[in-house]
C-alpha cells in the first residue's frame, strides 16, 4: 500500500501577528534577507519574472504576483500578491496591500496565508540597509542621509538603518506632499534621533546635501534628470526604481539585486538598456559585492536598484511563521481542505 503524506495544517497569520514578530527584530530580519540573497546568488532558488495585472481604466494601479521558491534550510515555495494603488495615499490609507502564501515543498499544499504588506516593507527596508552596509564598507559610513519620498517605505528604511547601528548627523527630507514631510519629521522626533532634521524645498538641494540618498517615491517615470546633482558621488538607494533618468544611470556604478529582473517594466536601468542597447553599465549584483567579485570605484555615484525578489518575501514570511510556531501561536483553520481522499 502506498505511503501517505500528511496534509500540513492550514494557518492564517494576521498583520497584527506579523508586526508583533517583526517589530524590534530588525537585525534578525536583515540577517534573514542576507541569507536569502546568498542562497539566490548560489543558484538555490527559483525566482521567475513578476507578473503585472494592470487596468486600462486605472492606469496608475497594478497588482503584482511574485512566485518563488527558496532553498537552503528555509525550504519553502510560495507567492506574494501585492497591490499598488497610489491614489490610496490621498484617501489616508497606505498605497500597498498584500498577502503571502507559503506552500509545503513535499506536498505542494499551502500551509500559511499571511498579511504581507508589513513583510514586503520589512524585506525592502532590510535589503536597503544591507546594501547600504556593503556598499559603504570601503567608503566609510555616510553621516548625511536624504530621503526623497517620506512615506511608509522611507520610515521602514530609516528604522532598519537605525536598528543596524547607523547614526546620522543630518537627515534631509523632501517630498512633493508637505504633509508627508510633516509626518516623517514627527516619526523622527519620536525615535529620539540626535540628527538635525532638514526640510529641503527642492530635490536638487536634498541630493546635493546628502552622501546617502534614498529614493522611496511612487514615480512611474524618471523625474530626476541632471547628472550634475550627483557630482559628489553619493551612494544612492534607488528603491523606487524609476526616479533616475538614463543619463544618471549611465554615469554611475550600478548594483542591482538581479540583472534579469531589473531590466524590465520601465525601470531606470531598463530605460538605460534601451538607450544604449546593452547591459554593461550594470556592474554587478549585491551578491557580487558580498563575495568581493565586483569593484566599486569611489569616483562615481554608486546606485543600488533592487527590483525586489520574491525569495526575500518567502524568507521573511517563513521567519514569521516559524517564530509563531515556536511560540505555539499559529491560528489553524480546521477543515480548510475538503474531499482529500482520492475516491471519496
Contact between 324 and 14 (Cβ < 8 Å): no
Measured between alpha carbons, how far is 44 from 13 in angstroms, rounded to an integer?
27
C-alpha of 180 from chain center: 20
Contact between 274 and 254 (Cβ < 8 Å): no
3-class DSSP state for residue 186? helix
Of all helices (H) and strands (E), which one includes residue 302?
strand 302-305
3-state helix, strand, coil in the chain (%, to 5): 35, 25, 40
- Set out the domains of the chain in order of their start, with CATH numbers: 11-119+310-332 (3.30.1780.10), 127-305 (3.40.50.720)
Q: Which pLDDT does position 5 carry in this prediction? A: 78
Q: Which three cell numbers stand for residue 124?
A: 525592502
Beta strands per DSSP E along 104-234: 110-115, 144-148, 170-174, 196-199, 212-215
Report the relative pairing of strands 58-70 and 51-55 from DSSP bridges.
antiparallel
Q: Which pLDDT does position 340 carry in this prediction? A: 83
Q: Which pLDDT does position 180 carry in this prediction? A: 94
Q: Which pLDDT does position 3 carry in this prediction? A: 57
Q: Which pLDDT does position 74 carry in this prediction? A: 75
Measured between alpha carbons, how far is 171 from 104 in angstroms, rounded to an integer?
44
DSSP assigned state of 230? G
Radius of gyration of the chain (CA): 21
Measured between alpha carbons, how far is 257 from 237 in angstroms, rounded to an integer?
12
Grid coordinates 514570511 are at which residue? 317
CA-to-CA dists, residue 325 to 12, 29, 287, angstroms: 12, 17, 30
pTM beyond 0.85: yes
Q: Which pLDDT does position 280 carry in this prediction? A: 97
How many CA atoms lie less than 13 Å away from 242 in the CB half-sphere? 9
**In tens digits, what is the pLDDT along the chain, a chain of 344 residues?**
455 678 999 999 999 999 999 999 999 999 999 999 999 999 999 999 999 999 999 999 999 999 999 998 778 999 999 999 988 988 888 888 999 999 999 999 999 999 999 999 999 999 999 999 999 999 999 999 999 999 999 999 999 999 999 999 999 999 999 999 999 999 999 999 999 999 999 999 999 999 999 999 989 899 999 999 999 999 999 999 999 999 999 999 999 999 999 999 899 999 999 999 999 999 999 999 999 999 999 999 999 999 999 999 999 999 999 999 999 999 999 999 988 887 87
CA-to-CA dists, residue 266 to 185, 224, 243, 259, angstroms: 31, 15, 11, 14
Measured between alpha carbons, how far is 182 from 224 in angstroms, rounded to an integer?
23
Amino acid at each position: 500500500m502506498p505511503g501517505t503524506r500528511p496534509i500540513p495544517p492550514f494557518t492564517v497569520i494576521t498583520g497584527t501577528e506579523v508586526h508583533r514578530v517583526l517589530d524590534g527584530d530588525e537585525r534578525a530580519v536583515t540577517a534573514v534577507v542576507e541569507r536569502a540573497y546568498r542562497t539566490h546568488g548560489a543558484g538555490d532558488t527559483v525566482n521567475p519574472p513578476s507578473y503585472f495585472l494592470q487596468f486600462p481604466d486605472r492606469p496608475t494601479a497594478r497588482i503584482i504576483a511574485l512566485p518563488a521558491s527558496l532553498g537552503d534550510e528555509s525550504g519553502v515555495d510560495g507567492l506574494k500578491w501585492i497591490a499598488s494603488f497610489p491614489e490610496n495615499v490621498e484617501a489616508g490609507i497606505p498605497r500597498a496591500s498584500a498577502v503571502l502564501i507559503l506552500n509545503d515543498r513535499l506536498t505542494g499544499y499551502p500551509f500559511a496565508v499571511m498579511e504581507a504588506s508589513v513583510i514586503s516593507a520589512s524585506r525592502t527596508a532590510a535589503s536597503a540597509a544591507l546594501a547600504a552596509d556593503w556598499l559603504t564598507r570601503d567608503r566609510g559610513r555616510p553621516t548625511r542621509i536624504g530621503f526623497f519620498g517620506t512615506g511608509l517605505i522611507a520610515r521602514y528604511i530609516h528604522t532598519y538603518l537605525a536598528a543596524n547601528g547607523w547614526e546620522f548627523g543630518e537627515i534631509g527630507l523632501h517630498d512633493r506632499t508637505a504633509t508627508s514631510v510633516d509626518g516623517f519629521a514627527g516619526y523622527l522626533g519620536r525615535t529620539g534621533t540626535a540628527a538635525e532634521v532638514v526640510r529641503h524645498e527642492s530635490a536638487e538641494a536634498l541630493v546635493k546635501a546628502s552622501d546617502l540618498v534614498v529614493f522611496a517615491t511612487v514615480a512611474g517615470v524618471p523625474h530626476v534628470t541632471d547628472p550634475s546633482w550627483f557630482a559628489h558621488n553619493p551612494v544612492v538607494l534607488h528603491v523606487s526604481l524609476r526616479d533616475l533618468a538614463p543619463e544618471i544611470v549611465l554615469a554611475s556604478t550600478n548594483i542591482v539585486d538581479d540583472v534579469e529582473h531589473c531590466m524590465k517594466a520601465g525601470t531606470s536601468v531598463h530605460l538605460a538598456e534601451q538607450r544604449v542597447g546593452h547591459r554593461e553599465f550594470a556592474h554587478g549584483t549585491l551578491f557580487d559585492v558580498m563575495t568581493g567579485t565586483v569593484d566599486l570605484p569611489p569616483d562615481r555615484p554608486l546606485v543600488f536598484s533592487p527590483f525586489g525578489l520574491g525569495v526575500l518575501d518567502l524568507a521573511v514570511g517563513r521567519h514569521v511563521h516559524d517564530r509563531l510556531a515556536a511560540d505555539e501561536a499559529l491560528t489553524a483553520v480546521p477543515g480548510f481542505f475538503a474531499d482529500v481522499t482520492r475516491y471519496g
